[in-house]
């Protein structure tokens, strides 16, 4: 698995597909902190939401690196199709870490925040960025590792899903009650950024643990569903 992840990382770097999402996100961070004395948690919430979009993009690019014949050769070398899927996920996660480090430490190093960053701020930033980034990885793989949609409409449907997820709370208010369940299928972005919207209080929100549990449950279910769809495709 280690050699496969290394191969994937080198392949992704050589393809230069990493440049647009990385450049866009770093530019966004610089623009976000163009001024000093900005609030800590709401700024982290903004950078974390954009990380979800960027990681969806990166995940889709990583899952589409190889042609079908090369993919089958890699699966044979790994001796397990599931290892191929998990290797792709881990590769995407690896490329997410530098973006998280930039988003988290850039405003601290250059003194853009209003007030001091406490342990609670660090914890909530980690929770939001890693959680939203992971949901982005799963969202991207849903459309590229499975046959949920034809290749022709992969990017379109992914864009619609990302946009709908970002506007889920507004859409929920407009939906009739019998369609409420459709919102719960979407990635629960609000559970990850809402705890950061309550100001810069030095304590965890009361609903933090329940939100954390729901996010972990959603991710586990998503992993199982995507794995089953992926294995059905690779029969």
pLDDT for 35-44, tens place per residue? 888 999 999 9
Written as six digits, the tokens of 3 are 């050699």
Q: What is the mean pLDDT of residues 77-87?
A: 88
Q: Are 75 and 234 in contact (CB under 8 A)?
A: yes
Model confidence band, residue 159 (pLDDT cutoffs 50, 70, 90):
confident
pTM (2 d.p.): 0.89
Q: How high does pLDDT run on average in the chain?
A: 86
């Amino acid at each position: 698995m280690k050699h496969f992840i290394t191969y994937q990382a080198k392949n992704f770097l050589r393809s230069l597909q990493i440049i647009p999402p990385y450049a866009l996100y770093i530019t966004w961070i610089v623009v976000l902190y163009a001024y000093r004395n900005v609030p800590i948690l709401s700024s982290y919430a903004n950078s974390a939401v954009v990380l979800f979009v960027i990681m969806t993009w990166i995940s889709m690019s990583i899952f589409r690196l190889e042609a079908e014949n090369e993919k089958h050769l890699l699966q044979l070398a790994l001796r397990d199709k599931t290892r191929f899927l998990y290797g792709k996920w881990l590769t995407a996660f690896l490329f997410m870490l530098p973006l998280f480090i930039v988003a988290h430490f850039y405003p601290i190093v250059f003194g853009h925040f209003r007030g001091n960053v406490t342990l609670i701020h660090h914890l909530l930033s980690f929770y939001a960025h890693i959680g939203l980034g992971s949901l982005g990885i799963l969202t991207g793989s849903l459309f590229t590792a499975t046959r949920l949609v034809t290749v022709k409409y992969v990017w379109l449907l992914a864009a619609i899903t990302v946009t709908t997820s970002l506007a889920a709370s507004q859409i929920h208010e407009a939906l009739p009650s019998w369609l409420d369940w459709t919102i719960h299928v979407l990635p629960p972005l609000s559970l990850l950024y809402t705890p950061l919207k309550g100001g810069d209080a030095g304590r965890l929100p009361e609903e933090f643990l329940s939100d954390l549990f729901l996010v972990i449950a959603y991710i586990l279910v998503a992993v199982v569903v995507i794995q089953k769809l992926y294995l059905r495709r690779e029969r």
